[in-house]
Amino acid sequence: MALDGTVLEGRGLLVRTGANGTNASNRDYLAICLLIGPDQTPTTAMVEAVRELIGVVQHYQPLATEIIGHRDIKATSCPGDDAYDLVRQSAFQPYTNVNPTPPPVTLASRVEALEADVAALKRW
């Protein structure tokens, strides 16, 4: 992820990462690399692009809900203190409209759907 929000694809969304530092973490986590130095702060464009990307990932992998910093799984200063503060503040949580929750099924909506089915059958 570039500072201007440009997304550069590494191995690909459906390919196991090799970036996390351990076999277990490569199995359990995807990797999104912020192209910043340890003393740089992610830009708003970068944070927004990461949020959007995580939303896409979660659309295809709904169980991928935990967002952590590299230092949470390996002895490293990555992703830098400012980016890690953003991780801890949930700044990279995706927008919820990427994978909207379906409306609740109510008795009234089920009756309405059944009446529509019956009406369709009566036309035969």
List contacts with Zn ion (CB under 5 A): 70, 78
**Among residues 30 and 70, whose Cβ is nearest to Zn ion?**
70
Among 44, 66, 43, 38, residue whose Cα is nearest residue 54: 66
Positive/negative CA dihedral, 38, 43, 44, 46: negative
**Among residues 53 and 70, whose Cβ is nearest to Zn ion?**
70
CB of 112 to Zn ion, least distance (A): 51
**Among residues 52 and 72, whose Cβ is nearest to Zn ion?**
72
- Residue 99 CA to residue 56 CA, distance in Å, equals 8
CB of 27 to Zn ion, least distance (A): 17
